Amino acid sequence: MGRSGTIYVTGLDADFLGGYIWTIDPAVSPDAELFAIAPSPTDLLGIALVEGGLVLTANAADFGEVYYFPVEDGPRIVGEGDLFARLAVERVDGLLGESFEVPLLLDMAGSTREATDFSVSFSWTPGLLEFIGITEGDFGGSFTADVDQAAAGMIEASASRTTGLSGGVPTLFTVTLNVDASVGPGDRVDITVTFDELRGPFAQDLRSVLTVEPGSLCVSPWRWGDVDRNGAVGSGDATQILRHLVDLPLADGADIELGDVNRDGVVNGVDAVQILRYLVELPIPAESRVAGYGIGACP
C-alpha cells in the first residue's frame, strides 16, 4: 500500500504467462484499474515503493531483473475532500479555578473517505493543566483510554469500528481539564494532538490526507465585570453598562463585552444589577461570572 492509500496488486495473465499490476483506491472505488504490464507473480522476488516510483525485482535466466514504474504516490496535497482534526477550543467558556471540557473533532464532511480506527496522543505542558477525565465521543466502536501518564502531561485514546464511518463531524472524545494554580491572568496553555493511527477499510493509512489543528487556551487578563478595565470590579463598571444601554460614550479603553457577566450573549441591566449585588455582597446566581477570569480560545 502506498502513502496515499493506493493499493498495488500484481496478477497473472494466462494468455501470455506474464503479469499485470493493478491499482485500487478504496476511498474512491472498489474497482481495480490496470496500471502496467509486469513480470509474472511467480517470478517476483520483491516489490517496494520508493520516492516517485514502484520497484519490482524478479527472477530471470541466470540473473535477476529490476523493473521501475514511475508513480505519483506521495502524501496528497491538502484540499477539498481531505480530513481535518481539530480541538474545538472555541467551545470552551470557562473560569479560572473551574473545570472545562475540550472536544476533539474529526471533520469528514467534505470527504468520501471512511475511518475505522484511530489512536491519538493528547498532550500539554506538565504542570499547567490538571487532568480530570475523558469521555467517549460518537465515533462508535470499542473505545479505550490510557491516562497513566496524565501527571506527565499526556493521555492516549483509541477506538476501533468494524464498519467504516464517513461524513459529518464526529467527536472522537472529550477531555475535562482544570488550569493549575500556577496559571494566572493573561497566561496561555497550548494543547497538542498527535494521530499515531488513523485507518480506513483494508487498513488504509489516512494520516497522509489528515490535517491536524492543535489548540490554545488563554486566560483573560481582565475580570468579568471589569468593563472599564481598571483592574477591579466597581460601581463604575455598572455605570458603563447603563451608558451603553442609552448609547452614551464609554470610558477610554472600556470593553463592553466584559459586562456580559451572566453569559447570555447580551449586555443589559441584568448584568449591571449582578455587579452591584456583588459589590454589596448580596446573593447572585451561581452561574454568574462576576469578578472571575475567563478561559477560552486564544484571540
Read off the pLDDT of residues 46-64 as tens digits, 9 standing for 90 and up. 666 654 566 667 776 666 6
* pLDDT at 282 (0 to 100): 96
Residue 34 covered by a domain: yes
Whether 207 is covered by a domain: the verdict is: yes
Inform me whether the pLDDT recorded for 111 exceeds 90: no
User: Which residue among 186, 216, 246 closes a domain?
Assistant: 216
**152 and 246 housed in the same domain:** no
Same structural domain, 49 and 88: no
Instruction: Give the span between the Cα atoms of 123 and 120, in whole angstroms.
Output: 10
Same domain, 170 and 266: no
Mean pLDDT computed over every residue of the chain: 85
Give yes or no: residues 203 and 264 share one domain.
no
Q: Rounded to whole angstroms, what are the CA distances from 262 to 21, 182, 242, 299?
A: 65, 27, 16, 21
Per-residue pLDDT of 125-147, as tens digits, reads 999 999 999 999 999 999 999 99
Closest CA to 21 of 60, 48, 3: 48
Same domain, 87 and 210: yes
Position 228, amino acid:
D
CATH code of the domain containing 108: 2.60.40.680
Range of the structural domain that residue 24 is part of: 7-70
pTM for the complete prediction? 0.71
- Is 267 within the bounds of a domain? yes
- Answer for the pair 256, 228: CB distance below 8 angstroms, yes or no: no
Domain assignment present for residue 158? The answer is yes
Let me know if residue 76 belongs to a domain: no
Give the chain's domain count.
Answer: 3
Rounded-to-integer distance, Cα 284 and Cα 272, Å: 12
Q: Does residue 39 carry a pLDDT above 90? A: no
The predicted pLDDT at position 41 comes to: 64
Instruction: Note whether 193 and 126 are same-domain residues.
Output: yes
Between 242 and 23, whose confidence is greater?
242
Residue 77 domain-assigned (yes or no): no
